[in-house]
Structure 1
Amino acid sequence: MSEAIQQPNYFEFYGLPIQFNPDQNAVKAKFYALSKQFHPDFYANESEEKQQEVLDLSTLNNKAYQTLSNPNKRLKYVLELKGIVATDEGYQLPQSFLMEMMDINEALMDLEFEPDAEKLTQVKRDVEAIEKGLKDELENLKIQFDQDPEKSEALLPSMKDNFYRQKYIDRIRERL
């Protein structure tokens, strides 16, 4: 297992609780406030160390905002922050899901050899239905997590599983 890289806690930096759906107005307000506070022009007469420190904080602020304002980046970030998802992890998807994907992959292979607009439309519909199911499940888990952070740890394995199934679907989407 590779050593986890300690990444900055953007929620802590913004003074917000760790959530999958943080208040976006609060995120934006904090971003603008810190952008002003750490603007390099205000530190032009400071020492090089101080200028570098302000530049680092300004960069951290930009990264925090990019992550916390984007639902997909935020999902991955929170799961990594909680130590649930590792960058180069080989995650074992559930057998039932893999069987379902095998059918879709076989249909896609058939379509490469014998293009069929009707069959392609059906495969796209199947993939969209799976995707919608995953998104609905994830939204439900996010809401539960944000409402009750004390019991939220128990939800993380399900969220991790959903995250990796979604990644698999994204790869299939690229082939469609």
Structure 2
Amino acid sequence: MSNYFEIYDIPESFLLDEKALKNTYYKLSREYHPDFYANEPQEKQQEILQLSTRNTNAYRTLSDPDLRMQYILKAHGILEEGKNEIPSDFLMEMMDINEELMELEFDFDADKFHEIGEKTNGVVAQLDNDILPVLQRYPELHGVTKDEALQQVKTYYLKKKYLLRIQETLSKFAARS
């Protein structure tokens, strides 16, 4: 079973040419359209249906930056269910934000709400900024092995997911106020 990058004949990468990806998706969608195989034997029709489904799944995964990142990390066995450690220094940093969120639950304060939002956005921006060079150069890395780079991306991915939960909590507050 070939991987999603092979289906589109592109190198494994965290940053893709979205337009080229979409063009290839459409090209394959036309190529594997069931209508063109209506007179073929059942076996051939089944095969085309599988290729069509795989094309759709591949596009859905690769066109979404988060799903693409998750896909690459899982493909290399870097991201495993239930075995993903978020660095403790980051969790300590987030503990303050979580405590502030709990306080907002009991006593909503618009200024505090905006302050937490700003702080969270700042952490996300910093994370994005720090990981960008790794994403841009992957897999051609200098001074870092591919495995080390994937570990850095994994840490980024887990932190970002954590921050997303905080941002979702904040947006629930925003809906209430």
| Structure 2 length-normalised TM | 0.88
Shift of 1:23: 2.3
Map 1:36-115 → 2, pairs under 5 A: 36-86=30-80, 88-115=81-108
Shift of 1:164: 0.5
RMSD: 1.8
Shift of 1:8: 4.9
Contact 1:145 1:155 in 2 (8 A): yes
Indicate the residue corresponding to 1:167 in structure 2.
161
Indicate the residue corresponding to 2:10 in structure 1.
16
Change (3 A) 1:154 1:167: same
**Structure 2 residue runs without a partner (length 5+):** 171-177
Give distance in 1, aligned partners of 2:107 and 2:77: 44
> Within the alignment, does 1:123 sit opposite 2:113 as a pair?
no
User: In structure 2, what residue type is equivalent to 1:19?
Assistant: S
Instruction: Choose which of 130, 135, 147 in structure 1 pairs with 2:128.
Output: 135
Count matched residues: 169
Q: Which moved more, 1:31-40 or 1:145-154?
A: 145-154
**Structure 1 residue runs without a partner (length 5+):** 1-6
Give distance in 2, aligned partners of 1:90 and 1:35: 37
Give distance in 2, aligned partners of 1:127 and 1:144: 27
Q: Percent identity?
A: 41
The C-alpha deviation readout for 1:38-75, integer Å capped at 9, x for no partner, is: 11111101111110100000011111111111211111
Shift of 1:152: 2.9
Give distance in 2, aligned partners of 1:132 and 1:126: 10
* SS of residue paired to 2:28: helix
| Structure 1 length-normalised TM | 0.88
Indicate the residue corresponding to 2:173 in structure 1.
none
Shift of 1:146: 4.6
